[in-house]
Structure 1
């Protein structure tokens, strides 16, 4: 090989090495190890990007649009050109994952976080958060994740579909048909949401916590009875005849009330003591307030306490496990019956010919909830008295009182300044129709099934 050829090959190798170093600088961690100088430069850019992200979150919280626009522009263009863009994308995704974990430690579960993102923003923010949750779950072995979390993750279809976290921001934008500026806006919105979620009561173990061995079902749980309750409520929901719906619902509530008393008797006789738990149930628009009222009266009739978080669209219920199950099951059935009756009713226009559907339905559901509460309380009190009279050697009334005290104490500890919410009633026709529907769906006609 001649001298000129050797020089050309040497120049090519030198150029190739320079190109390789540039690629490594643009994609740290994916190429050759960085030199100390390059590592220091990348570290400085990463710190700068993290600072800009924090400033963007703060500016959004304070409503400082000028500062938010400045941060948005820096994150869109990246500090230091193309290499800076890769660093910004890595920082953005890392901060999102960090905030997801912090929200979990403040009591939030995956489905709740995604629901709030969709509620306060829109579907794209929810999809971005689903991806972040899926990415964060890679840190935990499946055996250390609670079954309720696994169920939520499956329902959300949370999975990692992108090839590398450093490429996520770009890949997500392409997947959603958004330019970089639009993606940056959504990421900052999600970060602001996560950073401002308040602490709430945990309702299950954090991922990464070793799950205790599943306990055998207690002897008082009669699966056939629970299946019968579900079947009765399903029949109440499906029938077109109010009298049948009335009878099916009545029998279901009676069985559930007796099931609760049977559990109390068993625990009292065995000298055991269980503890109240916390559960959250989502309430969707429209007519959230009267729907929440219905859930509250059903909870109270089953010895639970409930409070509505209006901003986040869920109600927190405190009670003993069996009572929580009863509350959720019966609320779902009664709301189904109420919705059917409400949509069948045809409200008349007002005297000016204006549509009154919204005010009618608001008043309908409020009246329905109020009347259902009255009738459920009556039925439950009757069952309590009958079971107390036949309890034999167990003095049931003090046991029931102790359970109510335990629920109240647990609820007040979580919500020391709780209060009932008010609902608006301004449609007399809707109020009357709602109470009539509650009478038809409530607890009469027991003789037909006993």
Structure 2
């Protein structure tokens, strides 16, 4: 039974908290203002209740007059609280804030004019009004409220002698209640203002930390980009002097791994039938083993095959999440992979592939870097192949000249044929070459 009663009390308390909780909006600043506004209205309701209790407790013989004065002084606040709560819960937070500040300022002015002018207990509350305006509606509202308060103070001081008698009797009870309310409000406003300053400083520190982090990220990107451009220039400079394909691919993969600490780097080139991507260069022991095995990938398969087929870079931050990824038992630590086509114009020559041993270890910045290098490799490969073709042509021409000279020096037809067969076999790389002669009989055929 007692447990049920406790649960019922908790439920009632939760309902009360839900009823008096401030509304929640999508805008963070709107939520802050509504929470503060809700707190102020509830705070003033509590102050009003305590004021009435003080009057009943200490009113004595002047209870009717004191009670009448308290009602006059607090009725505008009660009306304002109801209107502010309605507006705030309907989403008009800024309008509710301005209404709160305006009614609060007007009520202070009314209490000052009808309560003794500059000697009224409410006179010091003008400063509180400025603080509330700043907390709820910003600096501009605080400046406007401050200017109005200054004008009102000067005006009241100027007509102090002509002000009517206090509407609310100035007795000890009223003065104590007014002073208590003013001090309490001042303390609460000071607390709220200090908390707002602390929140602002916290946001500034957080923003500064984010800015510093963004600056570091940007600086790192600039550094990486500079390194990429520098490496690309170095690769271009070195590759321009390399005319051997095997040496070229070794140089590229080794430079990339050493410069950017990739887990593995290798190069594939399309075969003459353009059906297979044959590995021609790879780093480390795994690369040597794959080269010895003449490792190859069918065009269109895996990330390498996809890059060659689409002529577009393929970046996978987590290889375990890509169904097309082909695991390699020689590279068990691969967690992310990037395959960039080596293209000369629209023609794909091969694929430059890099791998990292961390999920997310390769980023779009690596795509830019590898693309720059792949472009240089494509040019270098074209130069190497062109040099190889020109060298072969020169060797054939030299062979033709040499054969011509030997043939001219031959004394018999048999010697001419021997020179021709030997030279052609050597030029074509044939293991065996021969010439078959058939004699022509009289009146017969070959």
TM-score range, shorter chain: under 0.3
Q: With structure 1 as the length reference, what TM-score do the two structures score?
A: 0.21
Larger radius of gyration: 2
